[in-house]
């Protein structure tokens, strides 16, 4: 086997050009689509306040968007240069074709070939041209002569037409798309250093880093030490405040790169005082940590301070500290997912609900157990006092929207018309959801035997619908759910979810204190609050735009009866829109299945099975006959013996 290097560098240019196009084309399409998405999201940004707009724009500008455009421009410039080089690089291989050399067709007869050869001889023979053209004509005539000999020789012509060469099948050769200077002896040291740095240094380092990360992190990119700490600290009755302390003391923050904010002890005490003063705007509670806790756990205290400053909406003037606070909040939302996994593994219903509700509080920057109207702009504690009186209790945005226009304006009378309109607009922008139907069914059974019996696996079908603006929340009657499951479509859907990320079609939710864009999602689960157990793990829905049908499968109780099951549909970003609905699961006795006697027909006598059965029956009859004869003989002998015994007695 013969290897040949790329002498002209054309093949190597083709190789680099192909790699660049494979990377640049999808990257360019993605960049163009992202620009289009930014233009479409202008309407949703109308709900953002000026502070968050400025912060998000600053973060977008500070990101690597400029580097992406520079990379795109340089990449396409390099593609253009390579294209120019490939076009102007002469081909190092030209296929030898005797038909082309003699300018005849492949179907030409030997007479036509001979005639063409004589005509070319009159034109290109060295003796027929002038002295100045004799050298070129001689080279041309040699090619013509060689082609003529191949075409007039039957074997050579057949070899060329079959193998592309007059001498028949040639040896196999491989070309390497690398420049020839890589194989030159003067460049051996450079090539050795290059290969050593890639395969002996860079590759082992990358493999070691990948292996270390795979051992240190979970599938959700959380540290294994963090999950182990959660496993020991999260208990069955952990409250929301307890979850905040566990998150603040997470080892995940030790890897946080934003730890260089100049915040000394004096600044910490000052920020703590601001948090306490700000808490008085929400409630009479006090958040405080002992001096010993601050000394023993400085990182945890710092994180807890920044988290509570966010929940109580304390303005931090230090730019570095504000950046650190944003990072702490982003980590907190991720760490809640890890705690949720621990809770689901133990089937703890209360902790699962607390994780989801804490996520709502962090997104909306509201302390625990506060009025949901604080999510709206211009809502002050004075307005909340008018909402929570002996005559009325307006605690959620839904309650506010259900009021008449006159009562709502009276309740918000301290706001001017522009502020009032903005409050109503923001209130209507929050997504709402309703459960239109819940149905239990046993799949895979016959209709007359599909009873929900003890210990069977039952599938619960839940139909959800998202409500917008002033749509009614109640519907007369229950909507029918199509419970027929197409297994092929289910498999296709599962395969699609492996490659396609579910896009969220909803606009970002109003969350002015969360310095990131949050689109609404919903958690759906079923549980029994009396025993603090969840029957199904929580399922996250990110693509609910109109309506959707979900299903859960679980095992029924071991006894018959009517069991109340609580259905939870909880928002992941807003308070006061959760649904807690009780449904009844009726478990009946298992049906008595009919026993059908199989009627097995006798084999036909002419068949092989019939003949074997007849032979078997005949052998059984002979065996029974021999046994009967043997028993008869034994009885006769017994009679003779008894006669002798009697006769002897007579004597």
Mean pLDDT is lowest, of 93-107, 148-162, 219-233, 586-600, for 586-600
Question: What angle in degrees, to the nearest 10, is found between the helix axes of 224-233 and 203-216?
Answer: 10
More confident residue, 119 or 259: 119
What pLDDT, on a 0 to 100 scale, did the predictor assign at position 443?
A: 81
| Dist CA 386 CA 393 (whole Å) | 9
Question: Within 13 A of 527's CA, how many CA atoms are on the CB side?
Answer: 25
In terms of average pLDDT, the best of 304-318, 354-368, 579-593 is 354-368
499: pLDDT strictly greater than 50: no
Give me the half-sphere count of Cα atoms (radius 13 Å) on the Cβ side of residue 195: 7
CB neighbours of 97 closer than 8 A, spacing ≥ 6?
none
Tokens 């699961």 sit on residue: 585
Instruction: Compute how many other C-beta atoms are within 10 angstroms of the C-beta atom of residue 340.
Output: 22
Q: Measured in Å, how far apart are the chain's first and last C-alpha atoms?
A: 119
Cα 17 to Cα 285: distance, rounded to the nearest angstrom? 66
Is residue 395 within 8 Å of 67, Cβ to Cβ? no
pLDDT at position 595 over 50 = no
Comparing 88 with 429, which gets the higher pLDDT? 429
Summarize the confidence of residues 371-396 as an average pLDDT: 88
Please compute the mean of the pLDDT values over residues 464-472 and round it to a whole number.
69
Neighbours of 353 (CB within 10 A): 23
- Burial class (CB within 10 angstroms; exposed 0-12, middle 13-18, buried 19+) of 93: exposed
- Name, of 134-138, 266-270, 480-484, the range with top average pLDDT: 134-138
Backbone angles phi, psi at 176, to 5 degrees: -105, 125
Strand, coil or helix: 466: strand
- How far apart CA 243 and CA 227 sit, in angstroms, is 14
Secondary structure (DSSP) of 376-439: STT--HHHHHHHBSSS-B--SHHHHHHS-HHHHHHHTTTS-HHHHHHHHHHHHHS-EEEEEEEE
The mean pLDDT of 17-36, rounded to a whole number, is 83
Nearest-angstrom CA–CA distance, 115 and 113: 5
Q: What is the DSSP string of 470-519?
A: T--S--SS---------HHHHHHHHHHHHHSPPP--SPPP--TTSSS---
Closest CA to 473 of 363, 566, 581, 356: 581
Q: How far apart are CA 365 and CA 362, in angstroms?
A: 5
Q: Residue 647: its pLDDT value, please?
A: 37
CB-based contacts of 632, cutoff 8 Å, min separation 6: none
| Helical axes 224-233 vs 319-346, angle rounded to 10° | 60
Contacts with 567 (C-beta within 8 Å, 6 or more apart), sequence order: 435, 438, 462, 524, 526, 579, 580, 581, 582, 583
The dihedral through the CA atoms of 438, 441, 447, 452 has a sign that is negative
Residue 235's pLDDT is 93
Q: What is the chain's mean pLDDT, rounded? A: 77
Cα angle 364-282-572, degrees, rounded to a multiple of 5: 20
Does 651 or 314 have the greater pLDDT score?
Answer: 314
Least confident of 27-31, 215-219, 272-276, 303-307: 272-276
pLDDT above 70 as % of the chain: 69
CA pair distance 569, 131, nearest whole angstrom: 98
CA distance 539 to 569: 10
CA distances from 645 to 631, 633, 638, 649, 650 (A): 21, 19, 11, 6, 9
322 pLDDT more than 70? yes
pLDDT at 497: 41
- Looking at the DSSP bridge assignments, the partners of residue 580 are 568
Q: pLDDT tier at 92 (50, 70, 90 boundaries)?
A: low
Token pair for 591 = 């049906």
- CA distances in angstroms from 158 to 155, 249, 316, 503, 542, listed in the order given: 5, 83, 88, 62, 68
Nearest to 289 by CA among 277, 304, 271: 304
Rounded Cα distance between 74 and 67, Å, is 10
317 contacts 305 by C-beta, under 8 angstroms: no
Integer angstrom CA distances of residue 287 from 54, 175, 477? 31, 74, 48
Q: How far is CA 479 from CA 124, 236, 436, 464, in A?
A: 92, 37, 6, 10
Structural contact between residues 540 and 464, judged by C-beta atoms closer than 8 angstroms: no
Tallying the residues shown for the chain, one arrives at: 651
Return the higher-pLDDT residue of 329 and 516: 329
Is the pLDDT at 475 greater than 50, yes or no?
Answer: no
Of 135-149, 318-332, 501-515, the range with the lowest mean pLDDT is 501-515
């Amino acid at each position: 086997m013969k290897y040949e290097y790329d002498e002209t560098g054309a093949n190597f240019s083709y190789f680099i050009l192909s790699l660049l196009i494979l990377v640049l084309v999808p990257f360019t399409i993605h960049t163009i689509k992202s620009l289009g998405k930014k233009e479409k999201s202008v309407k949703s940004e109308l709900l953002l306040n000026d502070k968050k707009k400025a912060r998000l724009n600053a973060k977008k500008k500070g990101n690597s968007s400029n580097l992406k455009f520079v990379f795109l421009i340089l990449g396409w410039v390099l593609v253009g240069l390579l294209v120019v080089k490939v076009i102007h690089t002469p081909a190092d291989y030209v296929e030898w074709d005797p038909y082309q050399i003699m300018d005849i067709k492949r179907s030409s007869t030997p007479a036509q070939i001979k005639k063409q050869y004589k005509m070319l001889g009159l034109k290109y023979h060295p003796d027929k041209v002038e002295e100045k053209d004799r050298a070129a004509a001689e080279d041309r005539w040699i090619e013509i002569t060689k082609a003529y000999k191949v075409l007039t020789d039957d074997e050579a012509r057949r070899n060329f037409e079959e193998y592309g060469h007059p001498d028949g099948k040639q040896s196999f050769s491989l070309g390497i798309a690398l420049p020839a200077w890589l194989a030159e002896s003067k460049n051996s040291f450079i090539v050795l250093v290059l290969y050593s740095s890639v395969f002996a240094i860079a590759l082992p380092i990358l493999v070691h880093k990948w292996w270390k990360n795979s051992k240190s992190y979970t599938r959700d990119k959380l540290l294994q030490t963090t999950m182990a700490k959660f496993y020991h600290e999260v208990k069955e009755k952990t409250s929301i405040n307890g979850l905040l302390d566990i998150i603040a003391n997470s080892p995940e923050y030790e890897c946080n790169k934003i730890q260089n904010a100049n915040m000394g002890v004096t600044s910490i005490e000052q920020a703590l005082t601001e948090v306490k003063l700000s808490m008085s705007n929400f409630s009479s509670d006090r958040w405080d940590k002992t001096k010993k806790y601050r000394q023993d756990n400085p990182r945890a205290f710092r994180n807890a301070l920044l988290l509570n400053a966010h929940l109580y909406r304390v303005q931090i003037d230090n730019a570095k500290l504000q950046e650190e606070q944003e990072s702490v909040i982003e980590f907190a939302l991720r760490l809640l997912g890890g705690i949720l996994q621990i809770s689901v593994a133990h089937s703890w219903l209360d902790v699962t609900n607390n994780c989801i509700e804490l996520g709502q509080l962090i997104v909306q920057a509201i302390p625990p157990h506060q009025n949901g109207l604080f999510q709206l702009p211009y809502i002050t504690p004075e307005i909340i006092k008018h909402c929570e009186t002996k005559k009325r209790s307006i605690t959620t945005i839904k309650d506010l929207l259900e009021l008449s226009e006159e009562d709502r304006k009276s309740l918000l009378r301290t706001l001017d018309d522009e502020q009032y309109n903005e409050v109503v607009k923001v209130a209507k922008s929050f997504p709402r959801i309703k459960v239109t139907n819940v149905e239990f069914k046993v799949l895979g059974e016959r209709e007359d035997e599909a009873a929900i019996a003890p210990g069977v696996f039952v599938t619960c079908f839940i139909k959800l619908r998202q409500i917008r603006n002033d749509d009614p929340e109640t519907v007369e009657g229950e909507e029918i759910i199509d419970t027929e499951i197409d297994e092929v479509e289910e498999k296709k859907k599962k395969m699609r979810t492996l490659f396609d990320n579910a896009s969220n079609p909803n606009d970002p939710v109003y969350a002015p204190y969360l310095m990131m864009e949050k689109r609404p999602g919903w958690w759906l689960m079923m549980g029994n609050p009396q025993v603090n157990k969840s029957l199904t793990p929580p399922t996250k829905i990110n693509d609910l735009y109109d309506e959707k049908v979900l299903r859960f499968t679980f095992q029924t109780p071991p006894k018959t009866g009517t069991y109340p099951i609580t259905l939870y549909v909880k928002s992941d970003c807003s308070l006061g829109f959760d649904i807690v609905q009780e449904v009844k699961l009726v478990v009946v006795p298992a049906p008595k299945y009919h026993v059908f006697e199989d009627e097995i027909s006798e084999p036909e006598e002419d068949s092989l099975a019939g003949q074997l059965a007849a032979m078997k029956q005949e052998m059984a009859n002979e065996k029974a006959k021999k046994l009967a004869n043997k028993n008869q003989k034994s009885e006769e002998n017994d009679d003779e013996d008894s006669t002798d015994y009697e006769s002897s007695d007579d004597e």
